[in-house]
Amino acid sequence: MKKTLIAATAMMTVMGSASFAETIGASIARFDDNFLTVMRNGMVDYADGLEDVELQVEDAQDDVAKQLDQINNFIASGVDAIIVNAVDTSATQAMTQAAASAGVPLVYVNRQPINVDTLPDDQAFVASNEIESGTLAAFEACKLARAQGLAAGADAYILMGQLSNQAAVQRTKDVDDVIGMDMCNFINIIDRQTAEWSRNEAQDQMTNWMSSGEPFDIVFANNDEMAIGAIQAMKANGMSMEDVIVVGVDATQDALVAMQAGDLDATVFQDAFGQGEGSVDAALALARGEEVDQKVYIPFQLVTPENVDEFLDEN
């Protein structure tokens, strides 16, 4: 009889502890994006180190409908909170409404939802302020151009990310705002095209631009992958990287290697691990009924050849 009581007590203890386990569902826009992969790994590693926390991560494969289905499936399975890295930042109202109607806390991470200023109390946004990212990169390009004696006039191209993404829109606006300043208004934008955040598409676009034979001095890229694609195209065309200024955003490992090789002039560190961890913390806090700032910003930092060593072990 005593053994039976002990066994029953042990079973109740196990069941009791299991009932307190918290499950988070996470839908990531695409698994084949380098930066988002680092962010996702940061989320997974951080959650693995927490007691009684389970993180379920799904790949939305750049499909808005698939992402909404994933959110609805998370809700149906009874998760305690949801994290969303939005495929299309202009189409987040339905996701917000689905989670709010079900009473499931939701945290947007990295990509700012269009309804960020009207999120319900149990929803939040964790990222870095994109006004900083494009501004830091563009202003550094302006300073480098002036230092190289181009203040009388410099021509530039802009490689934009997916236009359905708030970060691409804001980073491009940041460039426009910087070159609208008195000290940088010598920069003329020849053309701007989207390369969908993709290295390959950026390489193709840069090749097309060079085929026109029009000289240029600066390439502004909304992210490092596109900056690297542009660099590959220029080098394949026999262009010396000393003759052009190239800036990106994210400070990915590949970008830092390109910087050490003298190909990339500047990038901006976006803390992928910090955003991933911050989104998990926010999701757990909301699930527990705790107060969370609705906008949690993790600072960007300018990366140049002078301080690149400080970021080699980050993203």
pLDDT in tens, 207-250: 999 999 999 999 999 999 999 999 999 999 999 999 999 999 99
Q: Which has the minimum average pLDDT: 1-10, 106-115, 123-132, 181-190?
A: 1-10
Q: What average pLDDT does the chain have? A: 93
Residue 198 has pLDDT above 70, yes or no: yes
The mean pLDDT value for 126-133 works out to 95
d(CA 53, CA 60): 22
Q: pLDDT-based confidence at 315, cuts 50/70/90?
A: confident
d(CA 144, CA 174): 17
DSSP 8-state code for residue 92: -
pLDDT score at 9: 32
Chain-centre distance for alpha carbon 256: 17
Residue 293 has pLDDT above 70, yes or no: yes
Is residue 93 within 8 A of residue 101, CB to CB? The reply is no
pLDDT score at 7: 31
pLDDT in tens, 15-70: 333 445 899 999 999 999 989 999 999 999 999 999 999 999 999 999 999 999 99
Give 270-295 as a DSSP string.
--HHHHHHHHHHHHHHHHTT----SE
Whole-prediction pTM = 0.85
The mean pLDDT value for 279-285 works out to 98
CA angle 185, 191, 196 (to 5 degrees): 120
| Residue 286 CA neighbour count, 13 Å, CB half | 31
